[in-house]
Amino acid sequence: MLTVPFEDPDMMRESQFGATFTRQEDARTLSSAELKEAEDDNTDREEEEREDDENGLPKKKGARKKKFSEGRGERVKMRRQEANARERSRMHGLNDALESLRKVVPCYSKTQKLSKIETLRLAKNYIWALSETLSAGKRPDLLAFVQTLCKGLSQPTTNLVAGCLQLNARNFLTDHNGDVSFSGRPHQYDSLYPYPNAEMATPTGLSSGTRDSVKPFRPYNYYASYESYYDSASPESSSPRFDGQMSPPNNYNGIFSLKKHEDQVEYSKNCHYGMRYCNVPGRGSMYRVSPDSHFPYDLHPRGQSFQSQDELNTGFHN
């Protein structure tokens, strides 16, 4: 099926026989004359190959190829063009889907788009991190979360995440193995935990208080904290490798706070972010909504303003 009108001048930008045109360029449309010329070229080449035979016999086995009738040749080229158009359309659809993914993944930025591969990696990390959070049933370590997000991402992307998080990228750079390691205290970390009663497992010593326990402050051992929390596996465990690259999200939005981009309205409509944590009829929310909810990881019922997230966002947005 033709998904795009064949006549669509934009879609039908043609670069027959190898030439390529970018979307911005005013690529020419192959004229029928050019098509005919190309066809003749091919036919001529075939003829030459046959004539090259020293015995004067056709080089190619079998009966001499039936010369395309003009009508058939045109039809073949037409089908090629249609196939090209379909392929373009298909790839555009794929790119649209990728763009959608970019928007729901942390650190969406219109100006600094994540590459395709980085988007996929980040999405995978994001899913993995969220899954871990859910299965753990407790508040995860923020840095661990970030580190998980950055696993396998490129340096620029990691920096981007860092920028979003207002953290120093050095704090969660990857080592040579592609692992994320933390080597310093995130000075602004406390600001991410504005709730005095934070009960989740926060980086040791960083939360202003916990109900479970108060762990000693170990400023240079966050990775250990990360490992303990995500001791099951790393995102890599389910994928072959990361090529030692890591990529960072653009803003803190999807994860620790709502993204403040143009789609925010849509989020509200579609149970995006905020949930993705949609209300469950009769229960208010499918997740616990505690009065002393802790920003990054607590879930809020749709409709409630993510005030705390917004507050945090002010610090995260570039």
Q: Which stretch binds DNA (CB under 7 A): 57-65, 74-82, 210-218, 279-287?
A: 74-82
- In angstroms, rounded to a whole number, what is the distance separating the alpha carbons of residues 251 and 104? 11
- In angstroms, rounded to a whole number, what is the distance separating the alpha carbons of residues 167 and 170? 8
Least Cβ distance, residue 78 to DNA (angstroms): 10
Is 111 a residue that touches DNA (CB under 7 A)? no
Q: Hey, which residues does 174 pair with through a beta bridge?
A: 180
For DNA, the closer CB: 15 or 181? 15
Say if CB 173 and CB 192 are below 8 A apart: no
Interface pick for DNA out of 6, 32, 91, 214 (rule CB under 7 A): 91
Least Cβ distance, residue 60 to DNA (angstroms): 15
Angle at 185 between CA 180 and CA 187, to 5 degrees: 125
Is 90 a residue that touches DNA (CB under 7 A)? yes
Least Cβ distance, residue 66 to DNA (angstroms): 13
Residue type, 196: P
Least Cβ distance, residue 73 to DNA (angstroms): 13
User: What are the residues whose beta carbons fall under 8 Å from the beta carbon of 77, sequence distance 6 or more?
Assistant: 35, 38, 39
Least Cβ distance, residue 173 to DNA (angstroms): 16
Q: Which stretch binds DNA (CB under 7 A): 10-18, 169-177, 205-213, 279-287?
A: 10-18
Is 116 a residue that touches DNA (CB under 7 A)? yes
Q: According to CB under 7 A, which residues from 21 to 40 bind DNA?
A: 21-25, 27
Is 16 a residue that touches DNA (CB under 7 A)? yes
Q: According to CB under 7 A, which residues from 178 to 197 bind DNA?
A: none
Is 17 a residue that touches DNA (CB under 7 A)? yes
- In angstroms, rounded to a whole number, what is the distance separating the alpha carbons of residues 12 and 88? 9
- In angstroms, rounded to a whole number, what is the distance separating the alpha carbons of residues 4 and 87? 10
For DNA, the closer CB: 46 or 227? 46
Say if CB 164 and CB 107 are below 8 A apart: yes
User: What are the residues whose beta carbons fall under 8 Å from the beta carbon of 1, sequence distance 6 or more?
Assistant: 86
Q: According to CB under 7 A, which residues from 193 to 232 bind DNA?
A: none
174 by DSSP, 3-state: which? Answer: strand
Following DSSP, what letter does each residue of 51-77 receive, concatenated? HT-TTSS-SSSSSPPPPPPHHHHHHHH
**For tokens 């947005």, what's the residue?**
317
Question: Residue 93's Cα: distance from chain center in Å?
Answer: 15
Least Cβ distance, residue 165 to DNA (angstroms): 20
Least Cβ distance, residue 14 to DNA (angstroms): 4
Is 1 a residue that touches DNA (CB under 7 A)? yes
Quickly count: other Cβ atoms within 10 Å of residue 75's Cβ.
12
Is 72 a residue that touches DNA (CB under 7 A)? no
For DNA, the closer CB: 45 or 269? 45
- In angstroms, rounded to a whole number, what is the distance separating the alpha carbons of residues 148 and 130? 10
Interface pick for DNA out of 133, 154, 159, 202 (rule CB under 7 A): 154
Binding site for DNA (CB under 7 A): 1-3, 13-25, 27, 79-88, 90-92, 95, 113, 115-118, 154
